[in-house]
Structure 1
């Protein structure tokens, strides 16, 4: 199984940068045009733009996984844990008299 993942990671490392660039170029072309003036058209335009950004974000996460072998969700969770620990430390350091 790890051999399969290794070849998948290698293929992703080779292929994803060009796909991310293409997706970004398509997104920039799309948002360069003025959105529709009517509310329904604008909502559809905005939803399409958000979907394109979500697609790009997933490609970038996949590329990070291909480079590092680390699941970005695990990395984000550990970053959140560190942030919460720092916040707790800061709160403990506050004087009890201050709000």
Structure 2
């Protein structure tokens, strides 16, 4: 599968959770590296940080409604801490 052609006016949003930041930052760095390989410039990508994984879908919805972004990516780490919360967030 080949990636589609990149339009120079396309913008991408990357939303990341601040929980487990040191791990999620690695995802952001890997995403950025691949986007650069695909022909995007770092200035084509807007980075957003939210509290946790639960907030990512709402923030993505708000960004999508702006019509500004060709794509929106979310990254978080959900850990099974032995309580119900991880199930709730993961679903």
Tell me if TM exceeds 0.5: no
Rg larger for: 1
Greater per-residue strand proportion = 2
TM-score, normalization by structure 1? 0.25
Structure with more contact order per residue of length (Cα contacts < 8 Å, sep ≥ 6): 2
